[in-house]
Homo-oligomer: A and B are copies of this chain.
Amino acid sequence: MLTYSLDKKGTDSLYEFLYKCIKKDILNGTIAANEKLPSKRSFAKNMGISVITVENTYSQLMTEGFIYSLPKKGFFAADIKNTMQKKELPAENDIEDKTCEQNKCNADCTATQTDSRNFPFATWAHLMREVLTQKQTDLMKNPPAGGTLELRKAIAEHLKGFRGMTVSPQQIIIGAGTEYLYGLLIQLLGFDKRYGVENPGYSKIAKVYKSHNVECSFINMDKAGVCVEELEKTLTDVIHISPSHHFPTGIVMPVSRRYELLSWVSSSPSRYIIEDDYDSEFRFSGQPIPTLQSIDISEKVIYMNTFTKTLSSTIRISYMVLPANLVRDFHSKLGFYSCTVPTFEQFTLASFIGGGYFEKHINRMRKLYHTKRDSVINALQNNKYAHKIEVLEKDAGLHFLMRLHSDICSEHFLKQLESCGIKIMPLCAYYKNPPDSALHYFVVNYTSAVHEKIVDAIEHIQ
């Protein structure tokens, strides 16, 4: 009969020891497939242990499928097809986590990282505590797929005051970042649609479309934005644009082009416009531009915005405003999804907006970015290259364009910047097949935490 020496038990309990022994013997074939095991009673007696211990052991082995029982016949070893082998795991550092890599450059003008010193920690912490105290029941309730009504109401109010948009909270869908919402929109509008992104543009957007395996064209822009002829030529159904402030060119789409696009979109039921309004809060002069969404009468514009630019990129809250017909589609097709933003963050943000803190924060940040921008431009204008540098599209958003006179060698200039620790992106990098006209242009993000270093580095260009 099956016997194991209890001397080898070590610190295991009797039950654990027995379980491991039998399991091992079944796996290595010592106990053959379909071999009968001793009855509980006789096994216990043989080992000098209690029947309950054997019972527990058999019961666990049975749950895991190592043994099976036949009524009135007893217990048998299961037929394990493969043999167990120790799995080789990758070494801790085997897999490089590229995104973890520390940035080695001093003055990174390509970073979109938020400056942690500007986040309203005190207010946020205060509101969080309030939410935790006052909303315990609501915090544990599953919100609708589109997000909590509180946050959707707060966003609707904000859009009214800040963008002159009249939208109902039902039209608002909250999600964990715009990248997530792009994916959700593909599920809503269809994988069979042809999507279009601006060329040049923010490369992540095209990556999201490609990664969802949908057709995605790069739509060339002229001075007013994407060209309608290009949309027609590429048979684009859904165009993803940022008319309020295009990245990286800084173009604000004029009203005439807006109406051209609205006319294009309304002429086929499969067409839609995604209006990505990612940094409209940071316009420095004049009134903000009215959104396409607010002049759209054909219910064809999906408005999208995010709190990652205004608050922090590590708070993953974005939202979209759907036209009424798509709201219905959303609930019937995608209403089964759980909202991806924790209720906790949603309630805190709702209080933050509702209490007027968000508006104050935006105003404070706008001033701060204005100052940062001016000091970077000032440093550029007092540099030895000053007369060869032109600053463009500086009135909106969190970056500007810099044009070098064509008699400077761009490569040489970039190398000089690099030697001073300045990282900067040429405009060409944002193009699919960059045209000659994009040469000598550079994109300067000046909002990052290392802004002082940027100014300092510019001053030290020799």
A residues contacting B by CB (< 8 A) are 16, 19, 56, 59-60, 63-66, 68, 78-82, 84-92, 94-100, 113-116, 119, 121, 124-125, 128-129, 132, 136-137, 139-146, 149, 166-171, 176-177, 179-180, 183, 187, 190-192, 204, 207-208, 211-213, 224, 252-260, 262-263, 285-287, 289-290, 294-297, 308, 312-317, 324, 327-328, 331, 333-345, 395
In the bound complex, how far is the Cα of B443 from the Cα of A408, in angstroms? Answer: 75
- In the bound complex, do residue A81 and residue B328 qualify as a contact, i.e. CB atoms below 8 Å apart? no
Chain B residues, Cβ within 8 Å of A190 = 213
Q: With A95-B170, A314-B344 in contact, is A211–B187 under 8 Å at CB?
A: yes
Q: Can you name the residue of chain B whose Cβ is closest to the Cβ of A93?
A: B170
Q: B144, B285, B343: which contacts A97 (Cβ < 8 A)? A: B144
Q: With A139-B116, A314-B342 in contact, is A263–B211 under 8 Å at CB?
A: no
- In the bound complex, do residue B95 and residue A327 qualify as a contact, i.e. CB atoms below 8 Å apart? yes
- In the bound complex, do residue B168 and residue A140 qualify as a contact, i.e. CB atoms below 8 Å apart? no
- In the bound complex, do residue A297 and residue B85 qualify as a contact, i.e. CB atoms below 8 Å apart? yes
- In the bound complex, do residue A141 and residue B166 qualify as a contact, i.e. CB atoms below 8 Å apart? no
- In the bound complex, do residue A312 and residue B87 qualify as a contact, i.e. CB atoms below 8 Å apart? no
- In the bound complex, do residue B224 and residue A212 qualify as a contact, i.e. CB atoms below 8 Å apart? no
- In the bound complex, do residue B258 and residue A65 qualify as a contact, i.e. CB atoms below 8 Å apart? yes
Nearest first, the 4 closest Cβ-Cβ pairs linking A and B are A65-B254, A116-B140, A99-B144, A176-B340
- In the bound complex, do residue B331 and residue A344 qualify as a contact, i.e. CB atoms below 8 Å apart? no
Chain B residues, Cβ within 8 Å of A294 = 87
Give chain A's interface secondary structure class: loop
Q: How far, in Å, is A21 (CB) from chain B's closest CB?
A: 14
Q: Can you name the residue of chain B whose Cβ is closest to the Cβ of A68?
A: B254
Q: How far, in Å, is A435 (CB) from chain B's closest CB?
A: 23
Q: With A95-B170, A211-B334, A324-B89 in contact, is A140–B119 under 8 Å at CB?
A: yes
In the bound complex, how far is the Cα of B165 from the Cα of A401, in angstroms? Answer: 51
Q: B86, B211, B333: which contacts A333 (Cβ < 8 A)? A: B211
- In the bound complex, do residue A168 and residue B340 qualify as a contact, i.e. CB atoms below 8 Å apart? no
Q: B139, B179, B191, B295: which contacts A314 (Cβ < 8 A)? A: B139
